[in-house]
């Protein structure tokens, strides 16, 4: 089992645009496996994008654990081909933005095409929690965080709060 380190804001690598996967080889299988290990080790995460662990590739792993049962879905080179006009607002969090949750508006449904880890083409209309999650994770591949959807003022507060948490953790580790 390999648990990778999850980058947190303000790490500049979270702002990079990731590149498409070209080879569906053993290296890819290994990255996907390590990403699931990291996601499950996080305890409360439901999705992880490769740039969050410093890998600049268009790879996403999601497990919504439907009815408490593991339900992993791997998205390679995902692309939204249609956003519904109907929107909804939900509270989101992110492993790269610790201890912060905020309401974000997104399309209620998205039609997504992607490849699975074996290179098989997939296409589906996605709704509900998975719709929020895949839009949030695809944003990561483009260097966008959920806090980038908030107002400038709110975003400033997030960074201030995070600084305080970091200071508190440093103090605790000294004691």
Of 88-147, which residues contact Ni ion (CB under 5 A)? 94
Rounded CA separation 169/47 (Å): 25
Smallest distance, Ni ion to C-beta of residue 93, A? 8
Of 10-69, which residues contact Ni ion (CB under 5 A)? none
Cis peptide before 25 (omega within 30 of 0): no
Cβ-closest position to Ni ion: 94
Residue 137 annotated to the active site? yes
Rounded CA separation 83/150 (Å): 20
Choice between 101 and 170, CB closer to Ni ion:
101
Token pair in block for residue 85: 């006009």
Rounded CA separation 62/74 (Å): 6
Choice between 28 and 95, CB closer to Ni ion:
95
Smallest distance, Ni ion to C-beta of residue 121, A? 25
Which residues lie near Ni ion (CB under 5 A)?
A: 94
């Amino acid at each position: 089992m390999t648990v990778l380190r999850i980058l947190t804001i303000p790490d500049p690598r979270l702002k990079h645009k990731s590149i498409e996967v070209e080879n569906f080889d053993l290296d890819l299988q290994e990255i996907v496996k390590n990403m699931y290990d990291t996601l499950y080790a996080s305890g409360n995460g439901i999705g992880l994008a490769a740039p969050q662990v410093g890998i600049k590739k268009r790879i996403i792993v999601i497990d919504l654990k439907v009815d408490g049962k593991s339900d992993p879905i791997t998205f390679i080179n995902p692309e939204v081909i249609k956003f519904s006009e109907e929107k909804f607002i939900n509270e989101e969090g992110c492993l790269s933005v610790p201890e912060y949750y905020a309401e974000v508006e997104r399309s209620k449904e998205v039609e997504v095409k992607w490849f699975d880890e074996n290179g098989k083409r997939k296409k589906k209309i996605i709704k509900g929690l998975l719709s929020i999650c895949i839009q949030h994770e695809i944003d990561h591949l483009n260097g966008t965080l959920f806090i980038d959807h908030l107002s400038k003022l709110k975003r400033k507060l997030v960074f201030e709060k995070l600084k305080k948490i970091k200071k508190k953790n440093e103090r605790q580790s000294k004691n």
